[in-house]
Every structure is written in C-alpha cells, then in structure tokens.
Amino acid sequence: MTDTTTPAMDPVCGMTVDPDKAHAAGLTSEYNGQTYFFCGKGCKLDFEEDQAKYLDPGYKPSMEM
Ligand SMILES: [Zn+2]
C-alpha cells in the first residue's frame, strides 16, 4: 500500500479531514511538535484558543458550540 494521505481527524469536531486539502487551505496547527488538521477555520481557531482542552482524553469531539 502506498497511501500517503492518511486521513486525519479534526480534534475539535471529530470530522475526518484530508490532510492535503487542509494544508492547502491553511487549516493546520502545530502543537507540541504535532500537526493537527481542521475541517474549517472555526475549528482551527477554537483549537488554538485552548489546545489542552481539545487534546484532553476526556474531551469528546462534537459539532456543538
Ligand atoms: Zn471541525
């Protein structure tokens, strides 16, 4: 298998994101040496506001605001 585009998960809403598209659209964020991908600007901004909240194992990704 030569699958170079492993789908990524938006840590904020739980949506599956195509890393290539997210990268092209600038919807990525780096935190602790890891790159995260987002479905949209809202999720990226939410994440950058409070990374720890969204990376907490107890956080359940959801579309709710
Ligand atoms: Zn999202």
Whole-structure pTM value: 0.84
14 Cα–ligand 1 center, Å: 6
CA of 55 to the centre of ligand 1 (A): 14
Mean pLDDT along residues 31-55: 96
Q: Does pLDDT of 25 surpass 80?
A: yes
Per-residue model confidence (pLDDT) at position 62: 80
Is the pLDDT at 64 greater than 70? The verdict is no
Amino acid sitting at position 36: Y
- For residue 18, give every residue at least 6 positions away whose Cβ sits within 8 Å of its Cβ, in sequence order, or none: 5, 7, 8
Residues written for the chain: 65
Question: From the CA of 10, how far away is ligand 1's center (Å)?
Answer: 5
Asked if the model's pLDDT at residue 37 lies above 90, the reply is yes
